[in-house]
Amino acid sequence: MEPLLLFPDPPPPVLAQSLDLGGYPWKAAMTAEEAAHIEPDDGWSGAVVCADEDPEGAFAFCRALRKRDLPMEPVLLLVSGLQLPDLELREDLFDDFCLSPFQPRELEARLKHLFWRTGRGTRPELVEYGPLVLNLETYQAGIGGRPLDLTYMEYELLKFLATHPGKVFTRETLLSRVWGYEYYGGARTVDVHVRRLRAKLGEEHANLISTVRSVGYRFGQPRWSL
C-alpha cells in the first residue's frame, strides 16, 4: 500500500499512533513542495490533514494538493468543533472531515470509506476481534486504540488465540502450536504468558482470554452456549 501523506510534520502523536496500529504507512510534510519531493514513485494513497493547530496552513496545504496536475484524493481533514464554520465554501478542498480529538475507530472507519469510495489503497493483513487489532505485517498490537507493548512470544500467543476465537486449546496444544515442537518448557510457560497478556490487555479486556477449568484457554466468546 502506498503511504498516506500527513500534515503537519511531525504529525500529532495520537494520529501517527492510530495509523501505525491500523497498518497505514505514512510520511509527513509541511509544504506541498516537500510532499512532492518525498512522494513515492507510485504516488500517495491519500492525505490526512490536521487543521486544529494551524488552520490556515492546513487549508493552504489542501489547496495546493488539489491544484496538482493530478489532484490529490482522498483528503481527510481533521478539525476541532470550533472550526466547523471554517469549512463553509471550502468543501472542494477535502473529501471528508473528522472532528478532533478523534476516536481511532472513527478515523479508521472514515479512511476505509474514503478508500472504498475512491478505489484507492488496500489494508495490510490485520486480525481484528472487537477492540483488539493485530497487524501481522508490522507485529504491532492495540486494544481500544491503545498500543500493546508485547514480547515476541506474547504477540505470537495472542495472535494464535485471536485467529481461533471461541475454540478451547489445552496448554500442551498451545505449547506445540505457538512455541513449537522443539520447545521443552512446561505448561506453566503458557500460564505465565496468559497472565502477562491479561495484565497488558487491562482489566476491561482481560476476559478476552478465558480459563477453561481442567482444559486450557479460550479466546473470545464460545462458539455456542447451553
pLDDT (tens digit, 9 = 90+) per residue, 116-158? 776 665 566 788 888 898 988 788 899 988 889 999 999 999 9
Would you state the pLDDT for residue 125?
76
Question: Cell digits for 13?
Answer: 502523536
**Would the CA dihedral through 170, 172, 175, 180 be positive or negative?**
negative
- Which residue do the cell numbers 483528503 mark? 75
CB 62 within 8 A of CB 32: no
pLDDT (tens digit, 9 = 90+) per residue, 25-79? 899 999 999 999 999 888 898 999 999 889 999 999 999 999 888 888 899 999 9
φ and ψ at residue 209, rounded to 5 degrees: -110, 115
Distance of CA 158 to the CA centre of its chain: 17
* HSE toward the beta carbon, residue 181, CA cutoff 13 A: 0
Would you state the pLDDT for residue 152?
93
